[in-house]
Structure 1
C-alpha cells in the first residue's frame, strides 16, 4: 500500500515538473524590427505614406482637425474607428455613424496614447502600431467570431476619426 502511494506521489511530482515550462522571453527589440519591416512592406504595397513617431508608431494624418485644444492623456475622447490586422481583416470597429467609443486617453494602448495627440478634434488619422505599443505578445479576442482574434505580436492598423475631446476639469 505504501509502495503504491509512493509510486503515485512520484508520478504526480514528475507530471508537475514536466508541465512546468518556462514561457518564452519577449524580446521587444527583435519583435519591433520584425514589426517595422512588416509596416514598411504594408506601406509600400498600399501606397499609404507613413511617418514614424519617436515612440515607434507609424502614422498618416488624413485630416488634422480644427479643434483648439491639444489632446492630453487626461482628456476624454470620443472616436469612431476601424481596427485591422495587416491582412486587412477587421478585428474591432465602431459599427454605425452614430456609434462612438468613449475613453480617457491614458487608459488605452500606448499606440493610441502616442498617436491621437497628433490630431485635434475633427481630425482623422491612420495608426500602424507595432506590437510593443499594442497587445505585445498576447493574443486578444474581440467579439465572438474567430476572425476577430488578434494573434500575439500583431501589428495593428487603425483608422481613427476623433469626434470629440472633453478636457479634464
Structure 2
C-alpha cells in the first residue's frame, strides 16, 4: 500500500472513532450532589442561613406577606421583579428592577427552581432562591455568562398573581 492510501485509511479510522464517541449522559442526581456541596460551602463561608427543600432548592424568605391570600399555582400568571446572579462570583446576569413594567409569565413556563420557590410567598412577598443547576438550565450553555451547570442566585419580588381561571377567551367578532 502506498503512503497516501495508508494515511487516508488512518484518517478514516480516526474519523470513525470520533464520530462514534458519545456525549456522556447528564446525571441529574450526581450534579445535584456536586452543586449541593458547593452551595453548602458558599453559605457557610458567607455565614448565610437558608432552608433547603427536598428537591435541593435553597431559599430564604425575606418577606412572606402573610396578608396575601392567594396561594400560587403553576397555572398562575405572575408579575415579578428579580435580580439574577451567578452564585459563586455574584456576577450579575439579569434584572428587571429598573424596568417600569414587571415581568409577566406563567409559572409553569419557568425553571423548576422558580416553580418550587415562588409559591412559598404571596403577592407582595420577596424571596431569595439559590437554584442548583439541575433545577435551572442543567448542562445547557445559555449564553457566554450562563455556562453549563451554573448555580443561580435570585432575589425575587412577587408583585401579583393572576389565577388562570380568571382569564376568559376573547370572542372574535362575527361578520
Whether TM-score is above 0.5 comes out as yes
Aligned counterpart, 2:64: 64
Structure 2: tracts of 5 or more residues without a match? 166-175
Aligned counterpart, 1:55: 55
Aligned counterpart, 1:116: 118
Output the aligned Cα RMSD.
2.2
Measure, in 2, the Cα distance between the counterparts of 1:95 and 1:10: 58
Consecutive aligned runs of 4 or more in structure 1 exceeding 2 Å deviation: 7-21, 45-48
Where in structure 2 are the equivalents of 1:14-163 lying within 5 Å? Answer: 15=15, 17-65=17-65, 66-86=67-87, 87-96=89-98, 98-141=100-143, 146=144, 149-163=145-159
Alpha carbons of structure 1 residues 16 and 102: separation in structure 2 relative to 1, 3 Å: farther
Please give the per-residue CA displacement for 1:143-162, whole angstroms capped at 9, x wherever unaligned.
xxx5xx11111111111000
Measure, in 2, the Cα distance between the counterparts of 1:64 and 1:97: 23
Measure, in 2, the Cα distance between the counterparts of 1:156 and 1:40: 14
Counterpart pick for 1:164 among 147, 160, 165: 160
Alpha carbons of structure 1 residues 99 and 46: separation in structure 2 relative to 1, 3 Å: farther
Give the drift of 1:38.
1.1
Q: State whether residues 81 and 93 of structure 1, in contact with CA within 8 Å, keep that contact through their aligned partners in structure 2.
A: yes
Q: What is the TM-score normalised by the length of structure 2?
A: 0.81
Q: What is the TM-score normalised by the length of structure 1?
A: 0.84
